[in-house]
């Protein structure tokens, strides 16, 4: 009787015994520049610091030339002060004309959440180097010429920006259709100048559309 009871308990225990999951070793996917050969070397371990990529090179250059061209940033505030752009903006009445077109501080506060939702602010934050050293010099250095033109366009309204967009687009189409080339270089003028004309066309049309929508809301 005892033997039968022990056998029943043993069967019950074995029935509820959970099988231990088998652990299979996954093969390593780490890559090596020596391809596993004993006679080869890891390039990154033996090469000088300046040759270990762009980030390493910039750090190395900063050690003996902090004011180098690779790491230098365009000083927007200093150039705005030197060109006296704030005074020029006030003299041209840019802010008052923008407000007359419907762009007030309240409108800007309403636009900012939309810009953040569309990811525009994050995009600008992730491309600070490009904006500071690429876009800012074009805008700031050209501001003494652009401010009177912008002031006149704002006085007219959206049609002025649409007309300017049509002008830049027409110029780009003319350069492409005429197969014009840049002298002494031989490059296509339509392709090279298109790097400026196409974004300018899009920007001017977008400004015109934005001002038109503000007029409708107003």
Which carries the bigger pLDDT value, residue 72 or residue 170? 170
At residue 198, does pLDDT exceed 70? yes
* Angstrom distances, CA of residue 13 to CA of 3, 7, 10: 15, 10, 5
Q: What is the enclosing helix (H) or strand (E) of 59? A: helix 54-64
Q: Tens digit of pLDDT for each residue in 150-194? A: 999 999 999 999 999 999 999 999 999 998 888 888 888 889 999
Quick one: pLDDT at residue 10? 52
* Angstrom distances, CA of residue 158 to CA of 104, 162, 210: 16, 6, 8
At residue 53, does pLDDT exceed 50? yes
Quick one: pLDDT at residue 5? 46
Q: Tens digit of pLDDT for each residue in 110-137? A: 888 878 888 887 888 888 878 888 888 8
DSSP state of 181: B
Q: Residue 188 phi/psi, 5° resolution? A: -65, 125
At residue 32, does pLDDT exceed 70? no
What's the predicted TM-score (pTM) here? 0.62
CA pair distance 56, 98, nearest whole angstrom: 46
């Amino acid at each position: 009787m005892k033997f039968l009871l022990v056998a029943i308990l043993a069967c019950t225990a074995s029935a509820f015994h959970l099988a231990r999951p088998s652990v299979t070793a996954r093969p390593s996917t780490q890559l090596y520049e020596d391809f596993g050969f004993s006679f080869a070397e890891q390039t990154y371990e033996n090469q000088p610091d300046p040759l270990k990529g762009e980030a390493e090179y910039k750090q190395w250059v900063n050690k003996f030339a902090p004011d180098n061209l690779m790491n230098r940033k365009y000083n927007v505030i200093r150039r705005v002060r030197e060109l006296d752009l704030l005074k020029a903006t006030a003299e041209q009445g840019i802010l008052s004309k923008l407000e007359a077109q419907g762009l007030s501080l309240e409108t800007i506060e309403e636009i900012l959440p939309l810009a953040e939702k569309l990811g525009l602010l994050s995009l600008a934050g992730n491309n600070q180097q490009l904006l500071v050293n690429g876009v800012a010099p074009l805008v700031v250095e050209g501001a003494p010429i652009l401010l009177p033109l912008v002031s006149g366009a704002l006085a007219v309204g959206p049609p002025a920006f649409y007309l300017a967009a049509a002008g830049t687009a027409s110029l780009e189409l003319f350069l492409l259709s005429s197969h014009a080339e840049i002298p002494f270089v031989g490059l296509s003028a339509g392709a090279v100048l298109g790097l400026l004309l196409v974004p300018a066309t899009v920007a001017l049309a977008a400004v015109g559309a934005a001002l038109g929508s503000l007029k409708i809301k107003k």
